[in-house]
């Protein structure tokens, strides 16, 4: 199993064929069950490696995808590159630091617990890598004047690797600087003999040059070390996320999707998630909680912006970009830079960096587009009442109110489980009055927590009256009514005027035909208005074949209140509720035609249907044809 793992790691993300694995395990003598054994080894590895590492089956082999896990070999190579870069710039302190850190990744001989076949194939390469970095580290140490401490290690290295001329030259240099000229010359003599006996060659130019410098005393001494001023402290990565949500409950599936890691070879330019839903459904809570859960994967920072002004309007993207740039340590232009210029600066400074961007309460696509990252290393999470044009179905999580079980669990987490579970019926009544909306449930729970003498039944009774329900669902800065009014403010004037008119339907489902009568408009125009109210979260869609609509327990009181307080220039809406599912004359006639001429022909019921409407007015539909109308 160690051999399989080492072979996959050494491939550095490339696919390793079954044949190569077989060669590394058994060479020229594989067993008849080799494929089964390889499969067993891989299965065991998957169990032991955990979620940080992914072992993927490819058509002809296996691929190891380490995601953000740390591998000694990868870290060694990264530090070696950095150290050599510093060495080339004669920044010897930094070079010594990084090269020394790279060497610490070798805790002993490489590949000691694998088959001889893999060891023979890979150990010479790894040993050469280690020795090359060792020589570079010694060069940096010599430049820093640490020759005396190097002599013991260099002596051992030269004995173990007698034909490495660079090590021998470094030992001679260290001895010479310790005023041990005779010892330095002896090291040269021994090396010349080894090269002549083993290879039949003379020392190379570099070693011969050091020998000549020892002879004539011209070998250079280390330059005095000039201590550079300490670099300025690194600017901390932006950490703009709001505090994590206390008592977060539910949304397990959505959280799982938001926290999943990108798959190998994922082609999206950047990872994006759009969370949509009605006001108060918990979009921000889910986004913030998920962002805190994965923030360690984005060490270059987390950016956050609320894209809605206090009055409900859209925040200027230029203002948001300016804040992001300052958080990233970039001072934006002060001479009235255009949005395009700010976008270029923003995307330039996040390119190649692992940054999480949370854009909360997005209002429109034109506001959102400039703020989207353009690199695959970043992830962006957007919350919005509307479905953004940027979003695909695969990237969108449309939140709906809790189910009863989740709602009671959430209420108990805030108000205390003892009080809620002591009266399950009252708890369910509270949930119903709150339409299972997380914001309303949170306010209800906070009110109970703030009033220990109240029972759940007492609060349920206060919430039962729809006329005062929205007044009860306010606590501190939290208000269901304000959230709904804010959503209504994002609708068009036509949508804002329509909502009070729809209060006539009370808690009954209705179709576009019925709404058209109340709104004094055509069916198509009414349907566009209804869909707009669905989009801003103030109307619930119902059904698929013949779509219907319904006002929920919280929007109904708002609509009814607006109906009795009409805006200037608009008459009050009719407030007498219509009972039963409702359709106008034309729709009722169409239903009757379906019974008379359609596949469900039943003359006795068709007669009832044609008599079921009053010309030009919404009507209640007889129970025996409702099933066909609403199916």
Return the pLDDT at 228: 45
Farthest-apart Cα atoms in the chain, separation:
124
- Judged by DSSP in three states, 422 sits in coil
When the pLDDT of each residue in the chain is averaged and rounded to a whole number, the result is 79
Instruction: Report the run of H or E that residue 310 belongs to, with start and end.
Output: none
Model confidence at 442, pLDDT cuts 50, 70, 90, reads: very high
Check if the beta carbon of residue 374 is closer than 8 Å to that of residue 476: no
Which of 181, 186, 193, 255 lies closest to 217 in space, CA to CA?
Answer: 181
Please say whether the beta carbons of 317 and 325 come within 8 A: no
Considering only residues 368 and 428, tell me which one the structure prediction assigns the higher pLDDT: 428
Mean pLDDT within 274-292: 91
Higher pLDDT, 47 or 393: 47
Which contacts (CB < 8 Å, 24+ apart) does range 327-335 have? 327/238, 327/240, 327/301, 327/303, 328/238, 328/301, 328/303, 329/235
User: According to DSSP H, which parts of 520-584 are helical?
Assistant: 523-535, 555-564
Model pLDDT, residue 259: 80
pLDDT average, residue stretch 548-567: 79
Task: Give 627's pLDDT tier (boundaries 50, 70, 90).
Answer: very low
Range of 28-37, 579-588, 621-630 with top mean pLDDT: 28-37
Rounded Cα–Cα distance for residues 342 and 316 (Å): 12
Residues 6 or more apart from 187 whose CB is under 8 A from it? 158, 168, 171, 172, 175
Alpha-carbon gap, residue 110 to 105, rounded angstroms: 10
Q: Residue 343: which residues within 8 A CB-CB, separation 6 or more?
A: 321, 370
Higher pLDDT: 6 or 615? It is 6
Q: For residue 573, give the 3-state DSSP assignment.
A: coil
Residue 576, pLDDT > 80, answer no
Pick the closest to residue 488 from 324, 318, 278 (CA basis). 278
Q: Over the stretch 146-192, which tens digit does the pLDDT of each residue have?
A: 888 888 889 998 998 998 999 999 999 989 888 898 998 999 999 99
Residues 433-443 have a mean pLDDT of 92
Q: What angle do CA 240, 243, 249 make, to 5 degrees?
A: 135
Cα separation, 210 vs 217, whole angstroms: 10
Confidence of residue 264 (pLDDT cuts 50, 70, 90): very low
d(CA 287, CA 285): 6
pTM across the whole model = 0.56
Residue with tokens 């001429």: 597
Highest mean pLDDT among 64-68, 347-351, 470-474: 470-474
Token pair belonging to 420? 């809620």
pLDDT, one tens digit per residue, over 366-414 is 888 889 888 777 889 999 888 777 666 567 888 989 999 999 999 998 8
Tokens of 398: 């449309």
Contact yes or no for 272/395 (Cβ under 8 A): yes
Angstrom distance (rounded) from CA 84 to CA 561: 74
The pLDDT score that the predictor gives to residue 618 is 39
Higher pLDDT, 610 or 91: 91
C-alpha angle 174-178-184 in degrees, rounded to nearest 5: 55
Pairwise CA distance, residues 23 & 19, whole Å: 6
Confidence at residue 71, expressed as pLDDT on a 0 to 100 scale: 67
Q: Is the pLDDT of residue 613 over 80?
A: no
Nearest to 53 by CA among 38, 40, 39, 68: 68
Which H/E stretch holds residue 268? none
Q: Using an 8 Å Cβ cutoff, are 481 and 470 in contact?
A: yes
- Beta-bridge partner residues of 16: 62
Residue 447 confidence (pLDDT) = 92
């Amino acid at each position: 199993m160690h051999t399989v793992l080492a072979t996959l790691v050494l491939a550095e993300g490339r696919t390793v064929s079954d044949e190569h694995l077989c060669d590394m395990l058994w060479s020229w003598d594989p067993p008849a069950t080799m494929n089964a054994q390889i499969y067993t080894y891989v299965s065991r590895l998957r169990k032991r490696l955990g979620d940080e590492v992914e072992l993927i089956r490819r058509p002809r082999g296996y691929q190891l995808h380490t995601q953000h896990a740390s591998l000694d070999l990868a870290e060694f190579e990264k530090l070696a590159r950095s150290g050599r870069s510093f060495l080339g710039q004669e920044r010897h302190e930094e070079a010594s630091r990084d090269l020394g850190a790279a060497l610490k990744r070798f805790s002993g001989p490489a590949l000691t617990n694998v088959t001889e076949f893999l060891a023979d194939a890979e150990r010479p390469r790894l040993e050469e890598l280690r020795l090359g970095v060792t020589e570079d580290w010694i060069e940096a140490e010599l430049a820093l004047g640490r020759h005396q401490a190097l002599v013991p290690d260099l002596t051992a290295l030269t004995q173990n690797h007698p034909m490495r001329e660079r090590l021998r030259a470094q030992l001679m240099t260290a001895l010479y600087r310790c005023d041990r000229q005779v010892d330095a010359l002896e090291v040269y003599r021994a090396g010349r003999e080894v090269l002549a006996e083993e290879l039949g060659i003379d020392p190379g130019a570099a070693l011969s040059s050091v020998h000549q410098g020892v002879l004539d005393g011209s070998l250079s001494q280390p330059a005095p070390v000039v201590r550079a001023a300490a670099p300025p402290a690194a600017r901390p990565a932006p950490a703009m996320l709001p505090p994590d949500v206390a008592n977060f409950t539910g949304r397990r599936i959505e959280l799982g999707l938001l926290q999943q890691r990108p798959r190998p070879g994922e082609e999206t330019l950047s990872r994006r998630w759009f969370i949509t839903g009605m006001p108060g459904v918990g979009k921000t809570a889910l986004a913030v909680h998920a962002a805190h859960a994965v923030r360690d994967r984005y060490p270059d920072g987390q950016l956050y912006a609320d894209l809605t002004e206090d009055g409900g309007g859209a925040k200027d993207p230029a203002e948001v970009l300016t804040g992001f740039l300052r958080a990233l340590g970039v001072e934006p232009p002060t001479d009235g830079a255009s949005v395009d210029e700010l976008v270029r600066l923003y995307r330039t400074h996040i390119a190649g960096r692992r940054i999480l961007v949370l854009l909360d309460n997005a209002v429109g696509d034109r506001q959102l587009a400039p703020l989207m990252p353009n690199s695959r290393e970043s992830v962006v999470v957007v919350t919005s009442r509307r479905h953004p044009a940027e979003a695909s179905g695969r990237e969108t999580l449309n939140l709906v109110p809790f189910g009863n079980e989740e709602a009671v669990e959430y209420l108990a987490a805030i108000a205390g489980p003892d009080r809620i579970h002591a009266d399950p019926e009252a708890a369910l009544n509270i949930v119903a009055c709150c339409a299972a909306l997380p914001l309303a449930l949170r306010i209800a729970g906070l009110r109970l927590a703030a009033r220990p003498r109240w029972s759940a039944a007492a609060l349920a009774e206060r919430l039962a009256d729809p006329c005062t329900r929205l007044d009860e669902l306010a606590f501190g800065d939290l208000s269901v009514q304000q959230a709904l009014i804010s959503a209504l403010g994002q609708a068009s004037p036509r949508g804002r005027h329509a909502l009070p008119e729809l209060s006539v339907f009370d808690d009954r489902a209705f179709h576009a035909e019925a709404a058209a009568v109340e709104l004094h408009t055509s069916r198509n125009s009414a349907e566009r208005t209804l869909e707009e109210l669905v989009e801003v979260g103030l109307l619930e869609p119902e059904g698929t074949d013949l779509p219907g609509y319904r006002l929920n327990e919280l929007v109904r009181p708002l609509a009814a209140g607006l109906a009795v307080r009409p805006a200037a220039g608009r008459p009050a809406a009719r407030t007498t509720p219509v009972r039963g599912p409702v359709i106008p004359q034309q729709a009722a006639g169409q239903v009757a035609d379906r019974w008379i001429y359609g596949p469900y022909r039943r003359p006795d019921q068709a007669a009832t249907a044609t008599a079921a409407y009053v010309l030009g007015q919404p009507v209640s539909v007889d129970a025996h044809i409702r099933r066909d109308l609403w199916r």
